């Protein structure tokens, strides 16, 4: 008696394919504000350190996120019930778990990572009104304690404005932001421009237009590349532009947390002009250098011409002397006599 064939699985020939639901990814958009974090390939670990650092200092500066006071589980530690059966204990554990989850959700609402589309570059948006205040608190505390709080997180830079990466939107967004820093009081400033995955915007155009915009706010605003009081940081990532105005950007190692914890402050750091960190180069300095070169070239050429003119003048003066004129006339007369004698001899 032959064995019966094995039954096929119920869904073996099913044409339907089932996939796991993907989490909705949040992307960086115009209108966001927050913090830009950079790392070296360990983005997940970098994000974890950024969350821990931001939540720790935000709790110190603003207090912990507001909890749901209406939830009865918050008063769990105070409540004492006579009927302490298993059902009530389980219910308390469930309520406590819900409260913890709500607190985590509140913390995530305060700080939420969004995708930038660039490698080794993370953006953490925030609901806080002023990310620069929190960023300054983190930087100054690390500079004071010299304690390295991160391993994978390298730079943590506050971002006040995110706009579209075109000249019109950048000037509009920067104009409103500059009113806060450059309108009332004259100060010194420098512009730092970086870009990633963008070939449309030109560094010189951005620097020229933003510098003119700052000077239009207050005539006393001036460029200082060595010890600028305010640093305008412009970070272009694909089609978006992040703008912020920072104090002590060069002094605090360009907000590099690792270098800031291990090294000393740069009180007189001079920005370098490189591909990754381009700093504003003052147009007047270039013009002065060019004028100096042109002046040296003109002086050299003029000296050469003067020497040739002096030589010609000297020769002309020698020829113009009376003795030299008589000698020349005698030579001409002697030459003519010789020619006459040769002509008579030939006859």
- Tens digit of pLDDT for each residue in 242-258? 999 999 999 999 999 99
User: What percent of the chain is predicted at pLDDT more than 90?
Assistant: 52
**Both ends of the chain: CA-CA distance in Å?**
155
Bigger pLDDT: 37 vs 325: 37
Q: Treating both helix axes as pointing N-terminal to C-terminal, what angle do 322-346 and 283-319 enclose, rounded to 10 degrees? A: 60
Q: Determine the number of helices (DSSP H) and then strands (DSSP E) in the chain.
A: 8, 10
Q: Quick check: helix, strand or coil at residue 148?
A: coil
Which CATH number does the domain 34-77+88-281 belong to among 3.90.1300.10, 3.30.2130.30, 3.40.640.10, 3.40.140.10? Answer: 3.30.2130.30
- Whether 322 shows a pLDDT value over 50: the answer reads no
Q: Which residues pair with 240 in a beta bridge?
A: 164, 237
- Whether 166 shows a pLDDT value over 80: the answer reads yes
Please write the tens of the pLDDT for every residue from 78-115: 444 444 567 777 777 877 776 666 555 555 589 999 99
The residue ranges of DSSP E strands in 217-265, in sequence order, are: 222-223, 230-237, 240-247
Tell me what the pLDDT averaged over the chain comes to. 77
Nearest to 159 by CA among 280, 42, 30: 30
């Amino acid at each position: 008696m032959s064995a019966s064939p094995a039954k096929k699985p119920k869904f073996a020939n099913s044409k339907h394919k089932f996939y796991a639901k993907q989490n909705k990814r949040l992307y960086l958009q115009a209108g966001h504000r927050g913090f830009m974090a950079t790392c070296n390939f360990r983005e997940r670990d970098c994000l974890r350190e950024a969350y821990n650092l931001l939540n720790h200092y935000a709790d110190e500066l603003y207090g912990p996120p507001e909890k749901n006071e209406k939830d009865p589980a918050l008063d769990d530690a105070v409540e004492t019930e006579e009927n302490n059966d298993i059902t009530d204990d389980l219910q308390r554990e469930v309520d406590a778990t819900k409260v913890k989850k709500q607190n985590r959700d509140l913390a995530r609402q305060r700080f939420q990572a969004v995708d930038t589309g660039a490698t080794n570059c993370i953006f953490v948006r925030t609901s806080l009104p002023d990310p620069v205040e929190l960023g300054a608190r983190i930087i100054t505390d690390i500079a004071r304690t010299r304690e390295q709080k991160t391993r994978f997180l390298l730079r943590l830079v506050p971002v006040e404005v995110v706009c579209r990466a075109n000249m019109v939107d950048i000037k509009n967004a920067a104009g409103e932001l500059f009113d806060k820093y450059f309108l009332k009081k004259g100060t010194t400033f420098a512009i730092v421009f970086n870009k990633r995955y963008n070939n449309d915007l030109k560094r010189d155009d951005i620097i020229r237009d933003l510098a003119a915009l700052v000077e239009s706010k207050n005539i006393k605003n001036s460029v200082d590349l060595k010890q600028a009081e305010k640093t305008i940081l412009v970070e272009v990532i694909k089609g978006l532009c992040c703008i912020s105005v920072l104090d002590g950007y060069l002094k605090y190692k360009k907000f590099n947390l690792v270098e800031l914890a291990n090294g000393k402050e740069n009180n007189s750091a001079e920005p370098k002009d490189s591909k990754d960190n381009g700093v504003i180069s003052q147009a007047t300095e270039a013009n002065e250098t060019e004028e100096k070169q042109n002046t040296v070239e003109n002086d050299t050429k003029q000296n050469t011409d003067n020497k040739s003119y002096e030589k010609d003048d000297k020769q002309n003066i020698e020829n113009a002397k009376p003795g030299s004129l008589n000698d020349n006339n005698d030579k001409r007369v002697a030459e003519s006599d010789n020619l006459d004698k040769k002509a008579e001899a030939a006859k």
